[in-house]
A and B are shown apart, each in its own frame.
Chain A
Amino acid sequence: MSPDQLAFFILSFMVIASGLMFLVSKNIVHAVLYFLVALLATAGIFLQLKAPFLAATQILVYAGAITVLILFVVMLTISKEPEVKVFGQTGIVGPAIAAVSFFAIMAAVVSRSTFTPLPAETAGIDQAQTVAQLGMELYVEYLLPFEIAAFLLLIALVAAVYIALGRGHDAT
Chain B
Amino acid sequence: MPLESYLLLGAAVFAIGLFGALSKKSAILILLSVELMLNAVNINLMAFSNFITPLTMKGQIFSIFVIVVAACEVGLGLAIVLMLYRRRQTLEVDKYNLLKG
Contact = CB atoms under 8 A, between A and B. Distances in A.
Interface of A: 4-5, 8, 12, 15-16, 19-20, 22-23, 28, 31-32, 35, 38-39, 42, 45-46, 48-51, 53-54, 57-58, 61-62, 65-66, 69-70, 73-74, 76-77, 79, 83, 85-92, 94-96, 98-100, 102-103, 106-107, 110-111, 115-118, 120-121, 123-125, 130, 133-134, 137-138, 142, 145, 149, 152-153, 155-157, 159-161, 163-164, 166, 169, 171-172
B46 A46 contact: yes
A40 B3 CA distance: 21
Interface residues of B, number: 75
A135 B61 CA distance: 9
A106 B23 CA distance: 21
Q: Is the interface of A mostly helix, strand, loop or mixed?
A: helix
Contacts, number: 246
Given A61-B67, A65-B71, A92 B23 contact: yes
A160 B77 CA distance: 8
A103 B23 contact: no
Most buried by A among B23, B49, B50, B87: B23
Given A46-B46, A54-B64, A169-B87, A89 B18 contact: no
Contacts of B89: 171
Contact of B46 (A49, A74, A99, A123): A49
**9 nearest CB pairs, A to B:** A95-B22, A106-B11, A156-B72, A99-B19, A95-B23, A88-B25, A160-B79, A163-B79, A19-B16
